[in-house]
A = this chain, B = another copy of it.
Amino acid sequence: MTPAIPHQQTEETGALQEDDVSLIALENGCITSPRGFSASGVACGLKAEGMDMALVFSETAAVAAALFTCNKLRAAPIAVSENHIACQQARAILINSGNANACTGARGWQDAEMTAKAVSAALHIPINHTLIASTGVIGHFLPMEKILAGIQRAVADLQPNGGPDAARAIMTTDTRPKQMAIECRIDGKSCRIGAMAKGSGMIQPRLATMIAVFTTDCAIEPTLLREALQNSVNKSFNVLTVDGEQSTNDCVFILANHQCGNPAIRQKDENFRVFQRALDQVAVALAQELARDGEGASKLITVTVQEAATAEEADRAARSVANSLLVKTALFGRDPNWGRVISALGASGAQLQPEKIQIRFAGIVVAEKGQAIDYDRIAMQKALQEAEVEIEARLGIGQYRARVYTCDLSYDYVRINAEYHT
């Protein structure tokens, strides 16, 4: 997966900018590409088959930041990690798949605490330098014997090239691991950012999303790290929707272990800008990968709303289109159904004037001034067979834009979620 995103949205105006920062995608990049990180993935029997526990470890002290779901019924590990992140440092992140440890009451909390404690004991680090996350079925207690045995093996298996195993171990209904790494230059030093993430249903994050882990060997102050993470998440996972759902277990972590040798970033200078741009790049590429591999998805759909009256209305209009089951099923059927796009725009509550609206599918204008126009149907047919389709709506009202990533809705989404039994 190559992080080739030509444009980035600025936060203030939503306008697109050319990317002027030089970034290099690392071949086979992963969570252990930055210096000083090791990782492992092991099978401890939470899932019927395959690896289900991932551990990411920084060999030295690392600054840390995290974002958590704003679902009010948060899982126990989320609460534990939120407590631990308060110290702004962490060295280990343990993630299990197969069981979400959500809706498990006081015992779930105790199990999460015990998990973090076991990790910190095995790694000889303070308990609050351990972050944990769980993903999987809701409402079941963690089988702690399996968890504790798994932790021992995950610690023993830590490898400097263990990133791919970790990325595989956090998968649930994902069809493939999502991971990458990028290199940028900060103060003359080559700084790396690695990442892994898992989807792939129950996704429309508002604060953070699903589970994503970033590692970097850059040196940066904790408050700036937190701010950079929030900025990147706002442009990536927070504008991703697979099915409009927000999980009890969404979280995003980042560890920065200052192994690349740069003087720590302490203000919003050029170095911060480069770091931010690199982090954005990784986050957006991963978010697109999550949409592309959304449950049952056959394509990545990018919805761009332009010329809205306010940034909030641009966002609302884009989300309304991206969450429209009718738009998503139309694209599964390879139909440029702009009527459904218009209807979703109209239902969003954003300010609109029908006679000003232009709709494009895959760059081809299909509606002008709110009405049908002729277009090249053969070119369209070809474009809608591609693995990526962009829907653009120009509202002609103001100057704000928003972009949301989603996927189509297929039979397989229904199959996956109807066959998945508690």
CB distance from A314 to the nearest CB of B (A): 15
CB distance from A46 to the nearest CB of B (A): 16
The listed residue (B105, B333, B354) touching A103 by CB distance below 8 A is B354
* Residue of A323, A325, A421 with most partner-chain B CB within 10 A: A325
Contacts of A339 in B (CB 8 A): 100, 102-103, 137-139, 422
Copies in the complex: 2
* CB-based contact A202/B326 at 8 Å: yes
Is A370 in the interface zone, CB < 8 Å from B?
A: yes
* CB-based contact A370/B335 at 8 Å: no
* CB-based contact B413/A343 at 8 Å: no
* CB-based contact B104/A325 at 8 Å: no
Complex: A326 Cα to B342 Cα, angstroms: 26
The listed residue (B139, B325, B333) touching A413 by CB distance below 8 A is B325
* CB-based contact B243/A325 at 8 Å: yes
CB distance from A104 to the nearest CB of B (A): 6
Is A417 in the interface zone, CB < 8 Å from B?
A: yes
* CB-based contact A333/B202 at 8 Å: no
The listed residue (B71, B351, B422) touching A346 by CB distance below 8 A is B71
The listed residue (B73, B411, B422) touching A352 by CB distance below 8 A is B73
CB distance from A183 to the nearest CB of B (A): 37
CB distance from A149 to the nearest CB of B (A): 24
Contact with B along A339-375 (1 / 0, CB 8 A): 1101111110111101101000000000101111000
Contact with B along A145-171 (1 / 0, CB 8 A): 000000000000000000000000000
Question: A418 and B332 in contact (CB under 8 A), knowing A243-B325, A338-B139, A370-B105?
Answer: yes
Contacts of A139 in B (CB 8 A): 338-339, 342, 367, 371-372
Contacts of A245 in B (CB 8 A): 324-326, 343-344, 347
* CB-based contact A73/B346 at 8 Å: yes
Is A419 in the interface zone, CB < 8 Å from B?
A: yes
Complex: A105 Cα to B369 Cα, angstroms: 8
CB distance from A255 to the nearest CB of B (A): 28
- A333-B417, A335-B418 provided; 9 other pairs, C-beta below 8 A? A71-B346, A72-B345, A139-B342, A248-B342, A329-B413, A330-B420, A332-B418, A413-B414, A414-B414
28 contacts between A and B (CB under 8 A): A71-B343, A71-B347, A72-B351, A73-B354, A74-B346, A103-B367, A103-B371, A105-B354, A105-B369, A105-B370, A138-B342, A138-B343, A139-B371, A202-B326, A202-B343, A243-B326, A244-B325, A245-B324, A248-B346, A325-B325, A325-B417, A329-B414, A330-B418, A333-B419, A333-B420, A333-B421, A336-B422, A409-B414
| 8 A-B pairs with least C-beta separation | A138-B339, A73-B346, A333-B418, A329-B417, A246-B347, A71-B346, A139-B372, A72-B346
